[in-house]
Amino acid sequence: MMGKRCVSVILFEGFQLLDVFGPVELLSAVPDLFEVRFIGPGRGPVASSQGISVSVTDSRDGAAEPDIVLVPGGRGTRSLVQQRSFLAWLTGFARSAPLITSVCTGSAVLAAAGLLDGYRATSNKRAFDWVMTNGEHVHWVPQARWVEDRNRWTSSGVAAGMDMTAALIRHLHGAEVAQAVTDYIEFEVHADPAWDPFAYGIDPA
- Taking only the tens place, the pLDDT of each residue in 7-57 is 999 999 999 999 999 999 999 999 999 999 999 999 999 999 999 999 999
Of the listed 80, 104, 132, 181, which one is catalytic? 104
136-173 burial string, b = 16+ CB within 10 Å, else e? Answer: eebebbbbbbbbbbeebbbbbbbbbbbbbbbbbbbebb
Percent of the chain with pLDDT over 70: 96
Mean pLDDT of all residues in 139-168: 97
Beta-carbon contacts of residue 177 (< 8 Å; ≥ 6 apart): 30, 33, 169, 170
d(CA 18, CA 4): 24
d(CA 52, CA 13): 10
- Taking only the tens place, the pLDDT of each residue in 51-98 is 999 999 999 999 999 999 999 999 999 999 999 999 999 999 999 999
Q: CB of 28 within 8 A of CB of 59?
A: no
Q: CB of 98 within 8 A of CB of 38?
A: no
Band the pLDDT of 3: cuts 50, 70, 90: confident
Band the pLDDT of 2: cuts 50, 70, 90: low
Q: CB of 147 within 8 A of CB of 132?
A: no
Total residues belonging to the chain: 205
Q: CB of 144 within 8 A of CB of 122?
A: yes
Domains of the chain, first to last:
5-184 (3.40.50.880)
pTM for the complete prediction? 0.96
Mean pLDDT of all residues in 115-128: 97
Task: Reply yes or no on whether 6 is catalytic.
Answer: no
